[in-house]
Chains A and B, each alone.
Chain A
């Protein structure tokens, strides 16, 4: 439950025009909204080229499982596990990846 509250707060802060209730329904969650140890399934990659190819070559593809191993204090930089590969990326890049959060 704690995790959930944290995420909701984050959400409100970032887009004031939506309501908390939308959170679990149709809203599309992005990778940078996950917290440490969260796991998600990749839904879509919005990044433009050449970043998109870079992400794909690192293994970020639809249907793959990602886990947030670490992020910096202000969530500027993330350390993501994707299929046993550790990839560091910024929240700007993580924002380009839509995910669906899953339970461990």
Chain B
């Protein structure tokens, strides 16, 4: 079957991801924030005997790339083979979008335009005559609504038609400009791009194009012609910047075409009305803080409701499987090792889902960009800019996408600073550890506030560290802050549910595979070597059994517990932990906590599962609640605080670290990133423990 390779381009927030979801039936992530489409997404489907392959490119405002993502799009359009460009346009912002469409049209490739979100536009009384548009520009166009799923089939008909006819755009500028384009074009000899396109880009001072042609033999002759051509345009348009003239030219063109093809929509006041409250000069910041507080509060309080059910469910499961398996090592490994550990991790799934839901809603409704606006003033004081807010907040969900989201920052310094402090925004996987320790050591009435305090404390520390980094290591001004505030949109239930479902599936999968194996490993390391101890105790137990006193049963249980304790104290893992003990003694941490924290470098979930195995909760009925009890009785308050602080600041998991390494090529920064959070965590925990000792 013949394949048509289609590059999907458009400005941010025009609903490209949304459009893809509507075709394939599979819903991908749709957000309102500029730069949600970071990875290259491809969709394949068949229509009329053709295989259509859509490649979703990062949202781009113009061919003068500003962010690394915009550069990705430009590089793709220039250097990769494709058959056709599908340009998605927001019908509600025709003028701004068409300026970019005309830049794309200059490429002189077969091109189709989709006027997306046409449903909203039509509801406000707007109308677009696409036939007229095609007549004026020679670009086939279709009104579509990815949301209400109309126009898509007609769009693909037009895509196929354009492909068959190899139909290219005909968009022309003012006479003087066209004359100079032709003049420059004549001096361009062999090149793989369209000559008119190269001429336009050269007139616009496009450095990427200069780089491509500057080794050509005809370059020198061209440059002198270029100079006089630009001069003539400057004089004609009474302006000193040809690039700006081209922008204005396209704007004028867009205006002209819009006036001929579209009926204006009445202004939508919805977003403006909401903004009157949400980004109010005085109330904006308190509202934002309240929203964040509410998310963490509900993460804790609503998330606690299903906890009991999940934990008793796993308790019952442990007993049930324990009954099925014959006595022996395997039973012990499953009942004492895997099940309580997996149970302890799954118990926190509701908390994590609520947190993700909160962040997701912020993104999908468009509030996230407002939060960046509200926070910009605050972030500026710490040497960052409002845009950095998005990766930072994503960090509360998971550091991996957060590191990727930092790509929206153009300035490498800003990006690096932001990425270096993302780890201080506690990710979802760290939540279970906090929940466990906070539940064990704080009164129920203040637990939610303590949790909020932990997150806020982490975030504030991150900001202060960012400021220090800015002053000490990255001198210079933060990059300019210019950001579109997208319209408020009602979140789509389907997309959100799908997202939560994917999260749930991934979490359970992780708990069932990675965490289970890790728990098995921890169990093994904590149960061996044991031969001598088992021998010693089984002898004692036999003696009691044969003596047949009435208290013998109790004595046996006691002896068994003593045996298990002794095995643990002599186990491999105890040796590891005890080797670390001198280091963490000033922090009041015992070797079990050391081992748990060490395991946390693999994945933060394993901190809780390791504690579950080491504190031997497998024997009790109610697995996870039992763990909270045990921990309350086993470790001092100061150690709990130290542990919380270390988890807040030390290195994130392996997955996050490798993402950072992938994003930051400089070895020196990788090394710095690997070491400094751990040193920082240690010092912070030490200070906290010292303070607690001082005041108690």
Instruction: Chain A residues near B380: list those with CB within 8 A.
Output: 76, 90
Least distance between A6 CB and chain B CB atoms (Å): 14
Query: A20 an interface residue at 8 Å Cβ cutoff?
Result: no
A51 and B482 in contact (CB under 8 A), knowing A71-B281, A83-B96?
yes
Instruction: Chain A residues near B92: list those with CB within 8 A.
Output: 84
Instruction: Chain B residues near A93: list those with CB within 8 A.
Output: 480-482
Asked whether A85 lies within 8 Å of B482 as measured between CB atoms, the reply is no
Asked whether A90 lies within 8 Å of B282 as measured between CB atoms, the reply is no
Least distance between A94 CB and chain B CB atoms (Å): 10
Query: A41 an interface residue at 8 Å Cβ cutoff?
Result: no
Stretch at the interface among B59-67, B146-154, B664-672: B59-67
**Which of A57, A61, A69, A87 sits near B272, CB closer than 8 Å?**
A69
Asked whether A53 lies within 8 Å of B64 as measured between CB atoms, the reply is yes
Asked whether A58 lies within 8 Å of B377 as measured between CB atoms, the reply is no
Q: For the complex, what is the distance from the CA of A73 to the CA of B487, rounded to whole Å?
A: 23
How would residues 17 to 48 of chain A score, 1 for a CB under 8 Å from any chain B CB and 0 otherwise?
00000000000000000000000000001000
Asked whether B100 lies within 8 Å of A88 as measured between CB atoms, the reply is no
Q: Of all chain A residues, which has the CB nearest B375?
A: A77
Query: B483 an interface residue at 8 Å Cβ cutoff?
Result: yes
Q: For the complex, what is the distance from the CA of A61 to the CA of B250, rounded to whole Å?
A: 11
Stretch at the interface among B192-200, B241-249, B586-594, B630-638: B241-249
Asked whether B62 lies within 8 Å of A53 as measured between CB atoms, the reply is yes
Q: For the complex, what is the distance from the CA of A49 to the CA of B243, rounded to whole Å?
A: 10
Q: For the complex, what is the distance from the CA of A86 to the CA of B278, rounded to whole Å?
A: 14
Q: Of all chain A residues, which has the CB nearest B251?
A: A61
Instruction: Chain B residues near A72: list those with CB within 8 A.
Output: 281, 284, 374, 376-377
Least distance between B50 CB and chain A CB atoms (Å): 33
Asked whether A90 lies within 8 Å of B248 as measured between CB atoms, the reply is no
Instruction: Chain A residues near B99: list those with CB within 8 A.
Output: 57, 59
Query: B484 an interface residue at 8 Å Cβ cutoff?
Result: yes
Q: For the complex, what is the distance from the CA of A51 to the CA of B64, rounded to whole Å?
A: 10
Asked whether A84 lies within 8 Å of B66 as measured between CB atoms, the reply is no
How would residues 399 to 420 of chain B score, 1 for a CB under 8 Å from any chain A CB and 0 otherwise?
0000000000010000000000
Asked whether B483 lies within 8 Å of A87 as measured between CB atoms, the reply is yes
Least distance between A53 CB and chain B CB atoms (Å): 4
Instruction: Chain A residues near B487: list those with CB within 8 A.
Output: 86
Asked whether A70 lies within 8 Å of B386 as measured between CB atoms, the reply is no
Asked whether B279 lies within 8 Å of A70 as measured between CB atoms, the reply is yes
Q: For the complex, what is the distance from the CA of A71 to the CA of B282, rounded to whole Å?
A: 10
Asked whether B284 lies within 8 Å of A87 as measured between CB atoms, the reply is no
Asked whether A88 lies within 8 Å of B483 as measured between CB atoms, the reply is yes
Instruction: Chain A residues near B62: list those with CB within 8 A.
Output: 53-54, 56-57
A77 and B480 in contact (CB under 8 A), knowing A85-B96, A88-B373?
no
Query: B438 an interface residue at 8 Å Cβ cutoff?
Result: no
Query: B372 an interface residue at 8 Å Cβ cutoff?
Result: yes
Asked whether B484 lies within 8 Å of A58 as measured between CB atoms, the reply is yes
Asked whether B377 lies within 8 Å of A89 as measured between CB atoms, the reply is no
Residues facing A in B230-257 (CB within 8 A) are: 241, 243-244, 247-248, 251
Instruction: Chain B residues near A61: list those with CB within 8 A.
Output: 244, 247-248, 251
Least distance between A78 CB and chain B CB atoms (Å): 9
Query: B544 an interface residue at 8 Å Cβ cutoff?
Result: no
Residues facing A in B284-337 (CB within 8 A) are: 284
Query: A74 an interface residue at 8 Å Cβ cutoff?
Result: yes
Interchain residue pairs with CB less than 8 A apart (30)? A50-B64, A53-B243, A54-B61, A54-B62, A55-B482, A57-B64, A57-B99, A58-B482, A61-B244, A61-B248, A70-B279, A70-B280, A72-B281, A72-B374, A77-B376, A77-B377, A79-B275, A79-B485, A83-B95, A84-B92, A84-B93, A87-B482, A87-B483, A88-B372, A88-B376, A88-B481, A88-B483, A89-B482, A90-B385, A90-B480
Q: A: which residues have CB within 8 A of B? A: 45, 49-59, 61-62, 64, 69-74, 76-77, 79, 83-90, 92-93
8 closest pairs, A vs B, by CB?
A: A57-B62, A53-B64, A86-B485, A57-B61, A56-B247, A88-B373, A76-B377, A73-B281
